[in-house]
Structure formats: C-alpha cells, structure tokens
Amino acid sequence: MRRAVYPGSFDPVTNGHLDVIERASRLYDEVIVAVAHNESKTGLFSFEERMALLQEVVAHHPNVRITQFSGLLVDYARQVQAQVIIRGLRAVSDFEYEFQMALMNRKLEGGVETMFLMPKEEYTYLSSRLVKEIARLGGNIDVFVPDSIARALREKFSR
Ligand code: PNS
C-alpha cells in the first residue's frame, strides 16, 4: 500500500492544491490530506470548516482522505504509515523554504521521503493568502477556487 500525506494549512483549499491532490491520487494508493494545527497562524477558516470544505471538493476521489494533525509532521506520517510527504512546488520562491523543510524532515525521520509535485502552470501564482485578500476586497475569485470555496469566502467577508 503506497500511502502519501499531503500536509498544509488549506485556509482555504485552492485550485492549485486540488491540482496537486489529483496528481498525487494518481500516483499513490491512498492520499491523506492533513490540515495542520498551527498555533502561530490564526486562519480565516476554522479547522472544522477547512476540513469540511476540503471534504466537499475531493469527494469524487475515492482514495483521498481528509484529516487533521498537530505536532510534528514526520510523527504524523509515521503514525498513519505514509512513506511519502507531498508538497506542491509553484516557483523558485517556494524552493528555499521547501528544501529546508524537506531536509529537516529527512533528518528527523529518514524513512519518509518528500515528493514535490508541480501544479499546472496556470496555478503557479496562486496562493490561499492572495485569494483571501482578493475576496476580502471584493474581487472575483471564481477562477482560483472551486464554487463551494468561492461561496464560503464571499460569506466570510459579507459578515
Ligand atoms: O500550507 P503550509 O502553511 O505551507 O504548510 C506548512 C506545514 C503544515 C506543512 C508545516 O508548517 C508543517 O509541517 N507543520 C507541522 C510541524 C512540523 O513538523 N514542523 C517541522 C517542519 S521541518
């Protein structure tokens, strides 16, 4: 059983994340999308909301499971018996942080390999942070996120 864990904040999930999930789901028997509890980052969406939104948009992938985790990612990967950590790599600017994290995770747990997947070129400029900013300022986010996420964002900012 080839199992991969795809960790992240997913606040909220974007078309870029979904593209990576789809690619990973074709490569592995099971993909565990794991929403990280990060004490130092307060999100727009709660963990429950992020998970529910993710659940909705991956429902058509039978081998994708949505979970959450706290603590070290490598401990979580070991706990769920994942051999691989998936990370999306958009541009050179992502590289330094991702490289450092991958090597640190390797040092912590040599049995888990990090695999980088590149989303479609049209998503290389996409980030949850920018999508939230555009939505907050009333811009059109329809091409960046699935319909349900766009609705959830509009609802958040209409309050
Ligand atoms: O979507 P993000 O915010 O880029 O995801 C970052 C994430 C969740 C992958 C990273 O912060 C993480 O792995 N957090 C868990 C804590 C941990 O293991 N830290 C040591 C990393 S070397």
When the pLDDT of each residue in the chain is averaged and rounded to a whole number, the result is 96
Which residues line ligand 1 at a C-beta cut-off of 6 Å?
A: 7-9, 36, 38, 72-73, 101, 104-105
What pLDDT is stored for residue 29 in this prediction?
A: 98
The pLDDT of 140-159, averaged and rounded, is 95
Query: Residues 40-84: pLDDT tens digits?
Result: 778 999 999 999 999 999 999 999 999 999 999 999 999 999 999
d(CA 158, CA 124): 28
| pTM of this structure | 0.97
Q: Which domains does the chain have, with CATH numbers?
A: 3-124 (3.40.50.620)
Ligand 1 atom, smallest distance to 71 CA = 16
Query: Residues 91-113: pLDDT tens digits?
Result: 888 999 999 999 999 999 999 99
